[in-house]
Chain A
């Protein structure tokens, strides 16, 4: 069931919030030993909250489409009275006294939080293979990573354990796991969703957004968390005739897995068949902007986590190596990276006068295996982390919104993701195009065929 289907069923009294919550908890109990998607499950308080939400609805108090639906929060969001680990030993026993803004917003919308999802340690990586809490697994192939850092959120939504989950994205961390797990992830415009109460990684790069099973569900979940809210949900038969879709002629299709290229180009053809106008364009130097974004993140992360570095043994090796790198970069280099960032934003702003959105692959590869540190693309080995994120990292420095949605499968049955980018604050346009693509690509039956493990 999607959010919109469940919301309709609740109001038609075909199901109650308590029944939906019990079903969610039952699925988590069954699937979590295999997926490790949750670090914490709060069954009793979730049931109590569901009863309260049912009572509200019966009194005629209706908070909107998320009212009474079971959801999860990435364990990076502070939750009052519920342990918040950030996937780290540093926060192993941390129980916040207040909720993050995104938790407050979803609570106001009537959600039932059933638990906190697993993630890459401190949200600083893309595998979600966590040295302290174990590897989160991809429901399409449990020997593969779900992506990260919001891997537990994507895995839980894909396996139909919850209707939606929150995520954060500092370089790919909503969009990549959404893609690897065959669900939808929205990285909104920078600061469109408040970062208050989210344990920070990169202060000028962190974005908060939703992970859901459909684009329309993403719209509902985003509207409920956005600081400046919209009520837009793409209508049935969303029309994209005449919309200008940019197709990069450089960079994004240069080095990628053949099956990924075929699926994404197929999506472009689908958009054209819907009446969109495909505009060939050249994008600014993405490799250069990725470099800038890496310098920014290395320094910002150590600025946040540096005070804990006396406890070196409490960090996983990959995160520690990144923090050590950040300590060695100078303040002058960081300031120059922020100068370059501003120059790139200026360059990109010209692009948004030519097109309504840009289509790219999310990642050059489908989900790698757990423990795989290098991947082979076109016969050449690449670092799995840098390869997986190279179509996304730059976008965090720009602050533009980006949508990740499934656009196909590999022959071996792994989902492939399409990235749709738009100008800042253009989430509604992005969601409209995404919904039209989702309808036309008609993958929902196969995506929903994934059995709960």
Chain B
């Protein structure tokens, strides 16, 4: 899992510690849902760039 606190401390300006504490649970839940989806992306899959660019 991502170390959100470490990234937050490295940002400029950094995110204050108490504010990071508040958002970590949400980010952890989002990551838990998002990482498995990333694994379903086929190699070379294109990104969406506009309404005409559909799969």
A276 close to B (CB within 8 Å): no
**Cβ–Cβ contact B19 & A342, under 8 A:** no
Known: A321-B23, A327-B11, A328-B27. A342 touches B46 (CB 8 A): yes
Q: Among A312, A327, A424, which residue has its beta carbon within 8 angstroms of that of B51?
A: A424
* Distance of A405 Cα from B13 Cα, bound (Å): 44
List the one stretch of A79-87, A116-124, A284-292 in contact with chain B.
A284-292
A410 close to B (CB within 8 Å): no
Known: A295-B34, A324-B19. A342 touches B54 (CB 8 A): yes
Query: Which chain B residue has the least Cβ–Cβ distance from A285?
Result: B37
**Cβ–Cβ contact A345 & B54, under 8 A:** yes
- Report chain B residues within 8 Å CB of A310: 13
When each residue 1-36 of chain B gets 1 if its CB lies under 8 Å from chain A and 0 otherwise, what string results? 010100110010101100110110011001001100
In the assembled complex, the CB of A97 is this many whole angstroms from the nearest CB of chain B, namely 29
A-B contact count (CB 8 A): 85
* Distance of A347 Cα from B33 Cα, bound (Å): 19
Query: Which chain B residue has the least Cβ–Cβ distance from A327?
Result: B11
**Cβ–Cβ contact A339 & B47, under 8 A:** yes
Q: Among B20, B26, B34, B46, which residue has its beta carbon within 8 angstroms of that of A339?
A: B46
Interface size counted on chain A using CB atoms at 8 A: 35
State which residues 312-344 of A face B: CB under 8 Å.
Answer: 312, 320-321, 324-325, 327-328, 333, 335-343
Known: A288-B37, A291-B30, A342-B46. A324 touches B51 (CB 8 A): no
- Report chain B residues within 8 Å CB of A340: 37-38, 40-41
A191 close to B (CB within 8 Å): yes
**Cβ–Cβ contact B22 & A321, under 8 A:** yes
Query: Which chain B residue has the least Cβ–Cβ distance from A397?
Result: B48
**Cβ–Cβ contact A349 & B54, under 8 A:** yes
When each residue 299-319 of chain A gets 1 if its CB lies under 8 Å from chain B and 0 otherwise, what string results? 000000000011010000000
In the assembled complex, the CB of B20 is this many whole angstroms from the nearest CB of chain A, namely 7
Query: Which chain B residue has the least Cβ–Cβ distance from A317?
Result: B22
* Distance of A335 Cα from B23 Cα, bound (Å): 22
- Report chain B residues within 8 Å CB of A347: 55
A402 close to B (CB within 8 Å): no
Query: Which chain B residue has the least Cβ–Cβ distance from A321?
Result: B23
Known: A291-B33, A324-B19. A338 touches B47 (CB 8 A): yes
- Report chain B residues within 8 Å CB of A292: 34, 37
**Cβ–Cβ contact A345 & B48, under 8 A:** yes
* Distance of A336 Cα from B2 Cα, bound (Å): 16
In the assembled complex, the CB of B36 is this many whole angstroms from the nearest CB of chain A, namely 9
- Report chain B residues within 8 Å CB of A328: 2, 4, 7-8, 11, 15, 23, 27
A275 close to B (CB within 8 Å): no
**Cβ–Cβ contact B45 & A309, under 8 A:** no
A152 close to B (CB within 8 Å): no
- Report chain B residues within 8 Å CB of A399: 51
**Cβ–Cβ contact A324 & B15, under 8 A:** yes
Q: Among B23, B33, B45, which residue has its beta carbon within 8 angstroms of that of A287?
A: B33
Query: Which chain A residue has the least Cβ–Cβ distance from B44?
Result: A339
A277 close to B (CB within 8 Å): no
Q: Among A309, A343, A345, which residue has its beta carbon within 8 angstroms of that of B13?
A: A309
* Distance of A309 Cα from B30 Cα, bound (Å): 23
**Cβ–Cβ contact B41 & A336, under 8 A:** yes
Q: Among A291, A321, A343, A349, which residue has its beta carbon within 8 angstroms of that of B19?
A: A321
Q: Which 3 A-B pairs have the closest CB atoms?
A: A346-B55, A338-B47, A342-B48
Taking Cβ atoms with an 8 Å cutoff, the residues of B that contact A are: 2, 4, 7-8, 11, 13, 15-16, 19-20, 22-23, 26-27, 30, 33-34, 37-38, 40-41, 45-49, 51, 53-55
Q: List 25 A-B contacts (CB under 8 A).
A: A291-B30, A291-B33, A291-B37, A292-B37, A294-B30, A321-B22, A325-B26, A325-B30, A327-B11, A328-B8, A335-B47, A336-B38, A338-B47, A339-B41, A339-B47, A340-B37, A340-B40, A341-B48, A342-B46, A342-B54, A342-B55, A343-B40, A346-B54, A347-B55, A399-B51
Given A333-B38, A336-B38, A343-B55, 4 new contacts (CB under 8 A): A291-B30, A325-B27, A340-B38, A342-B48
